[in-house]
Structure 1
Amino acid sequence: MGDSQSIFQRPPRGTRGPAPAHSRDEIVSVAIGLADADGLGAVSMRAVAAKLGTGAGSLYRYLSSRDDLLDLMADAAIGAIAPYPEVDGPIDALVALARRQLTVYKRHAWLPEVVQQTKGFGPNALAYFDHCIGVLAPVRCPVTAKFEAVAMITGVVVLFARPQPEGLGFAAIDFTRYQNLAAAIQEASSGALKAPEDVPDLFERALRSLLSGLLS
């Protein structure tokens, strides 16, 4: 069953059938619980309905498809980024906001995948976007650059939210053919590239560099 409208543009449930036994929020909460516990593959209309003690068919009075459910899950999770931090300075404020966003994305390991597939903006995503544009109001640059900056924040968050490998697996490589890489690894292992304690971590450095370049 499909619908040309985003799930966020449709009423919370269909007008036909018996009185609602559940709400969209309840359905989404159960689905998020399943995804957090067992991964996105555990989320199906049947599994959510079973948790609610009803049949899968009953959920179609609230949703047209599993994709609708994923859109609602993503927007509900994004809502946890609020309340937004109050920090002076546009870039400082966006970095602080990005750290909150990263915490939420790491809490929900499935979110980076789902947020890149959503078909529409929900109220929480729009509130986040609106807040970011408000933070950037004092910055004198094209509005397109501001939109790009907001998008890049989410891109960096998604990158850092994914599980990071413990190491790059260079141990068994013969570096005689890769002299530039060998020299760089030698320099890093010698401690020459160790950042001082007052230097921000890679997440913050990446964000500040991107934002400074886009908003200049």
Structure 2
Amino acid sequence: MAAAIAIADTDGLPAVSMRAVATKLGTAAGALYRYLSSRDDLLDLMTDHAVGELRPYPEPEGDWLDQLTALANSQLDLHRRHPWLADLIQRPTAIGPQALSWFDHCLGAMRTLEAPTATKFEAIAVMTGLVVLFSRTTSSSAANPFAALDPARHPHLAAALAEPSGTQNTDLFDRALRGVLRGLLGES
């Protein structure tokens, strides 16, 4: 898994093949088929192995929202280290042991909530969705996406962008995550 992850980190997910991994390991691709039946198996194992990097989980400190926010920030760091993970994490596949432990830990952070179990699972899914979204955002050095804005055609957007945001010192990921989780789980 480490060889496959190193390839994906360096050259992107399309570069990960049984042949490329075998070459990195100094063996023939056929040798890998004794352990894996397909590239999909390899991708599943890569995903679970990467999720294992979330260990050790943050200590359970503060309330459920603080705990989930700490877990989500760890998850965001993981996705930024492995940009290819966003493409794999949402594949329909069996959940590996590392992912099961992750889910269990997230549910443990919500154990005091009176929300239905299905809602707690939805909260984990939404949290992961926000992680994927924010891991894919462009860097601050990227070009201004509103550079071609025509104030005559989009006066409300132009006015909103002209106002000071007042949120420059706050973390948008943190605010979005906390707001969504509070709304979904019915806690203030």
Q: Tell me, yes or no, whether TM beats 0.5.
A: yes
Residue 167 of structure 1 deviates from its aligned partner by 4.2
**Aligned match of 1:21:** none
Q: Quick check: 1:71–1:118 contact (8 Å CA) kept in 2?
A: no
Q: Which runs of 5+ in 1 are unaligned?
A: 1-27
- Give the secondary-structure state (helix, strand or coil) at the position aligned to 1:117: coil
Residue 121 of structure 1 deviates from its aligned partner by 0.3
For residues 159-190 of structure 1, give each alpha carbon's deviation from its aligned partner in whole angstroms, at most 9, with x where no partner exists. Answer: 11114152443233322121211211121xxx
Letter in 2 for 1:54: T
Letter in 2 for 1:180: H
- How far, CA to CA, are the matches of 2:83 and 2:92 in structure 1? 16
Q: Which runs of 5+ in 2 are unaligned?
A: none
State whether structure 2 residue 27 is matched by structure 1 residue 57: no
With normalisation by structure 1, the TM-score equals 0.80
State whether structure 2 residue 65 is matched by structure 1 residue 91: yes
- How far, CA to CA, are the matches of 1:119 and 1:196 in structure 2? 39
- How far, CA to CA, are the matches of 2:113 and 2:132 in structure 1? 25
With normalisation by structure 2, the TM-score equals 0.92
Q: Quick check: 1:78–1:124 contact (8 Å CA) kept in 2?
A: yes
- Give the secondary-structure state (helix, strand or coil) at the position aligned to 1:151: helix
* Aligned-pair Cα RMSD in Å: 1.4
Identity among equivalent pairs (%): 54
Which residue among 172, 177, 181 is the counterpart of 1:207? 177
**Aligned match of 1:107:** 81
Task: Please identify the structure whose Cα radius of gyration is greater.
Answer: 1
Q: Quick check: 1:98–1:153 contact (8 Å CA) kept in 2?
A: yes
Letter in 1 for 2:52: G
**Aligned match of 1:133:** 107
Letter in 1 for 2:72: A
State whether structure 2 residue 43 is matched by structure 1 residue 70: yes
- How far, CA to CA, are the matches of 2:92 and 2:64 in structure 1? 27
Q: How many residues are aligned here? A: 183
- How far, CA to CA, are the matches of 2:168 and 2:32 in structure 1? 54
Letter in 2 for 1:205: R
Which residue among 167, 191, 194 is the counterpart of 2:166? 194
Residue 208 of structure 1 deviates from its aligned partner by 0.2
Q: Quick check: 1:70–1:118 contact (8 Å CA) kept in 2?
A: no
